[in-house]
Chains A and B, each alone.
Chain A
């Protein structure tokens, strides 16, 4: 199951339409089990970089590989199978208002054809774990912002993704709660999930001991590398 590397950008450029390069000559690799931050001011291109990783966009030029596969070579079925191994926490959560918290979290499983009844127990356990045991049947509009965010996180991890991408998950949280959220991500990371967190809050990011990419003028640079984390050093051939 291990791929070395899990994500690989080689000379990737990204343009929207005929606009200028939003991302310019990106070269980066993410090893399985790593935890990276992605920083840069608003409009720098953090969301764009994540969108490339969760296959909402394709590179304008250059080569992007996920799980050892060149994404331009994938057929539709392979692409959807690959997407199922990626958990996404959207900046705006993108919860479905007409479904309950439980149904929302179950979506990554039910869209693969699993019946809700089969996954109900797993889903409610996960919701309890994020502190929403009492809100299983609540619809998102009746939940607070923080609760909605936890539903979004639960949904992103219910399918045990190999790669978790979080776009400004700490966006409108106060520092204390934001920190707790990042601890939660570290917990998931310890269980083997590769994590990328985009944030414009460098002060918060600096309190954690993980490598940081910064996007400046469309270029992605590793501005801080972190010491290797012990539990990720076991070698695994792809």
Chain B
């Protein structure tokens, strides 16, 4: 019952020629979108790790050198406290030399920093970021240096992560939309097939063929065509990614995402043509069953 001869001559229909191409394009788009979603997800994770493991504390220096000296002393003590927190890997005050280097482009060389009310900067690196560690740092800072402000990059990171999430979501939406469009296409092609082969379908029906038998003919046809198109689309997407990777590899940019995918991710991509084929098959089946239900 499952896939004997082709007694409904669907192979000769125009649909047999254009459906695989349509499905190929759809699968290509869906695959690229999914890759974008995956990459965005990975990128967001990387940023999340890379950035939230470090934070900066700004301590406003007083107006007078004496004041500044007192604050410096307090800061050094605070650094010792920070180092007692388990997850703090490094806690240090940026030296005048380092600050000089940072400010050089704006202020020029050889500025005597002690003469300017430049804030002190503490740089902290965490082996692992957690709310508890951040809370501890916050508490210590507020206690010892109430005027200091902590920049844990969270707000900036939050915006970036939000953007990455939006791009990821939009990409997944594209996958769904493309899937819906493919299903509509299959409905159209199946209806066309039913119209073209109405005589055959009616004949089978009158001979006592069950609806499922007739639906099988169409669903297997849709499955065959969309598998061919689906895997062609996946292959094209694979080639595109390979080309991108080569180009990006040459550019060797740390900021740009890498397109290397894990086995799981390849499996996920493989699901697109398989999913498209199943959607096509089920859509064709339901379309035929619905139209057969109208026959007495």
On A, residues with C-beta under 8 Å from B are: 54-58, 76-77, 80-84, 86, 88, 94, 96, 98-99, 103, 107-108, 110-113, 115-116
Residue of B nearest to A90 (CB): B203
8 A-B contact pairs sorted by A residue (CB < 8 Å): A56-B202, A76-B210, A77-B210, A80-B210, A88-B207, A94-B199, A94-B203, A110-B5
CB atoms of A108 and B296 under 8 A apart: no
Given contacts A56-B296, A94-B203, contact A112 B208 (CB under 8 A): yes
CB atoms of B9 and A98 under 8 A apart: yes
1/0 per residue B88-113: CB within 8 Å of A?
00000000000000000000000000
B209 interface residue per 8 A CB criterion:
yes
CB atoms of A108 and B4 under 8 A apart: no
CB atoms of B213 and A83 under 8 A apart: no
Given contacts A96-B200, A103-B7, contact A113 B207 (CB under 8 A): no
CB atoms of A88 and B206 under 8 A apart: yes
**C-alpha spacing A108/B207, complex, angstroms:** 6
B204 interface residue per 8 A CB criterion:
yes
**C-alpha spacing A86/B12, complex, angstroms:** 31
CB atoms of A111 and B204 under 8 A apart: yes
A-B contact count (CB 8 A): 59
Question: Residue B7 contacts which of A94, A99, A115 (CB distance < 8 angstroms)?
Answer: A99
B48 interface residue per 8 A CB criterion:
no
CB atoms of A55 and B207 under 8 A apart: no
Interface residues of B in 31-57 (CB under 8 A from A): none
Which chain B residues border A99 with CB–CB below 8 Å?
7
B1 interface residue per 8 A CB criterion:
yes
Which chain A residues border B12 with CB–CB below 8 Å?
98
Which chain B residues border A115 with CB–CB below 8 Å?
4
CB atoms of B4 and A110 under 8 A apart: yes
Distance between B296 CB and nearest chain A CB, rounded to angstroms: 5
CB atoms of A111 and B296 under 8 A apart: no
**C-alpha spacing A108/B203, complex, angstroms:** 10
**C-alpha spacing A223/B296, complex, angstroms:** 31
